[in-house]
Amino acid sequence: ALVTTSPNKSSYFLSEADITLLNVDENQFNELNKTIVLQLSSPILDTNNYTVFANENNIVNNTNTTSSITIFEQFAADYVLISLFAIDINGFPIFASFDLYFGSISMPVRVVFSNGTAAAGVTVTANLTDSPRVSQAGVTDGNGSITFKNVPLRTISLLARTKDNLIGFTGVAASTKITTIVLSSTDNADTLTKSVIFDKYQREIMINASVYNSKQGYSSKFSVPGFTITTAGEGLTSTFRQFMTDANSTKIYVRYKFVTSEVPGGYFGSRYNDYYSVSIRSESGQFESISQSMNALGLGAFDYASGATDWFVLALSLSGKPELIRIDVGVANVGDSAFQSSVVVDQISADKCEKCDDCVQCKSDPMCENTCNNPPIKSCNFYTNCMEKKVSCGPDGYAIGYGSKFCNKFAHNLATFTSSGVTWVYTTMNCLQKALVSPLKNCEDNCQVLRQIAFDSHPSCYNLAPGVCSLRFSDWAAIFSIVGNDLFTLEGLTQATKTIPGCSSRLATDISSAIGNAAVSTEEKIRLNILLAWLKLASYF
């Protein structure tokens, strides 16, 4: 079994030097053309034996010392995968990989209350929908305004939330035009349901309200009819439902799907990256929310003909006392008005849980949905919508800190693989997700156990047809450009090569042949030599 606690680098035949980033951050919007420094924890770089790539293109404009490499390159792309291949003075390989987002847009946002007055002191978070871990947050000033800096020209989800549980949200293409977010609350107003449509500048253009007689009180029924909201041109469409819970209710859930005509229209992967958000709030301050975009879900999450996903579930734990609940649902047409998107909600209901052996299973359990029970290929959504929703292990847990991170990293860099390499990536991604289905369905809730189960599945998944041993040298170079010095992945690769007779020697022959090819660049030969050195050390042949 793989060891999941602080592995020793020397055991994996790697340099003990750690590489950290200076001036930029993988989790932030970075300033365009910012100088990047790769800092070694020890001054042991062999300055004559390293190479650095950006999106698989060699970076020429750099300088070095034994403790750092400084990159002066001006990147045209807003997404850049930086990968380092080096040898230290002791002869051990150094691998490092960082995916970075750059932007130059200053994006103004204004937050207002429902009566139009400025909302000061509100926390607003801007997330990159292509990679939700990349974000920027701040607090509105006295005019209800905040400006986000260095925003890439991509779809951005915006969430504003006050300390007393008012929220507002939208999804837009990054722009220098002011985006207005209107806060909504859970209160005792007569309006039970309301649909609001905004244009691309967040101006309210239509209101349809259904008024509920407050003198009779809120409905005590914990089942609300389903509904569909659809964009009407460019901009956000939103709706809400609010009602009182029954006594002793401990959880409420929303079952929904996302439908976008952008997928059958052929715009998956484009900047026309339509977006949705679903949130649940309670009067006592409980809150759950999910925001996703077409590109972030992955093409495999959709039925290509209809542009519909399978069903998803969002759930909120309750206090067990009657309280007011509000469901907010929004969908945004981003960057164009030609292709519309919808969110279909078929259930808003109280949870029903039954004990089965030692496991309590509830209707809100995400593992009951087909998209979690049988994860689709070409999608990384399983880790956030299934695994983390079932067992929340936080940003350092396997689902968020490893599974989603590397799944999306591979998905963003498929162009660097051969056709066989792409097939291997998709097959491996899907295998790793399916290995977690059974323990999650059987209510395994220990984060360390789930992490161990996940890593134990890596070697067999790497060898699932077509298998890592069938890949060309260029695919291996692409893999290492993505995983860097991640020890658990390297251990899985090592075990995978050892299970196939002759695998390591065949790979070494393929790499050596490429090194001897006059058509291969000097920088690529340096990378391959370093990869070959690690392969020989790790495989003992």
The string of pLDDT tens digits covering residues 455-465 is: 999 989 999 88
Whether 274 and 423 share a structural domain: no
Whether 190 and 123 share a structural domain: yes
Whether 77 and 128 share a structural domain: no
Range with lowest mean pLDDT among 5-9, 43-47, 443-447: 5-9
Whether 484 and 514 share a structural domain: yes
Which of 102, 128, 147 lies at the terminal end of a domain, its last residue?
102
The strand order across the sheet containing 179-182 reads 145-151, 105-112, 179-182
What CATH number did the domain enclosing 216 receive? 2.60.40.10
Does residue 378 fall inside a structural domain? no
Region 446-456 average pLDDT: 94
Q: How far apart are CA 163 and CA 525, in angstroms?
A: 56
What CATH number did the domain enclosing 63 receive? 2.60.40.1220
Whether 415 and 524 share a structural domain: yes
> Are 23 and 102 within 8 A, CB to CB?
no
> Are 270 and 256 within 8 A, CB to CB?
no
Residue 443's pLDDT is what? 87
Does residue 487 fall inside a structural domain? yes
**What band does 539 get if pLDDT is binned at 50, 70 and 90?**
low
Whether 83 and 111 share a structural domain: no
Region 247-275 average pLDDT: 91
What is the domain extent for residue 83? 9-102
**What band does 358 get if pLDDT is binned at 50, 70 and 90?**
low
Determine whether 389 is exposed, middle or buried from the number of CB atoms within 10 Å of its CB (0-12, 13-18, 19+).
Answer: buried
**What band does 220 get if pLDDT is binned at 50, 70 and 90?**
very low
Whether 349 and 212 share a structural domain: yes
Whether 81 and 121 share a structural domain: no
Most confident listed range (198-202, 321-325, 417-421): 417-421
Q: Which residues pair with 370 in a beta bridge?
A: none
Whether 261 and 145 share a structural domain: yes
Does residue 377 fall inside a structural domain? no
**What band does 356 get if pLDDT is binned at 50, 70 and 90?**
low
Q: Residue 123: helix, strand or coil by DSSP? A: strand
Whether 123 and 162 share a structural domain: yes
**What band does 205 get if pLDDT is binned at 50, 70 and 90?**
very low
Whether 297 and 441 share a structural domain: no
- Is pLDDT of 10 > 80? no
Count Cβ neighbours within 10 Å for each residue of 182-216 and write b for 16 or more, e otherwise. Answer: bbbbbeeeeebbbbbbbebebeeeeeeeeebeeee
Number of domains in the chain: 3
- Is pLDDT of 486 > 90? no
The string of pLDDT tens digits covering residues 122-174 is: 999 999 988 888 999 999 999 999 999 999 999 999 999 999 889 999 989 99
Whether 245 and 302 share a structural domain: yes
For the beta carbon of residue 10, count every other beta carbon within 10 angstroms: 10
The string of pLDDT tens digits covering residues 141-150 is: 999 999 999 9
Does residue 398 fall inside a structural domain? no
Which of 102, 118, 151 lies at the terminal end of a domain, its last residue?
102
DSSP one-letter code for 387: I
> Are 223 and 350 within 8 A, CB to CB?
yes
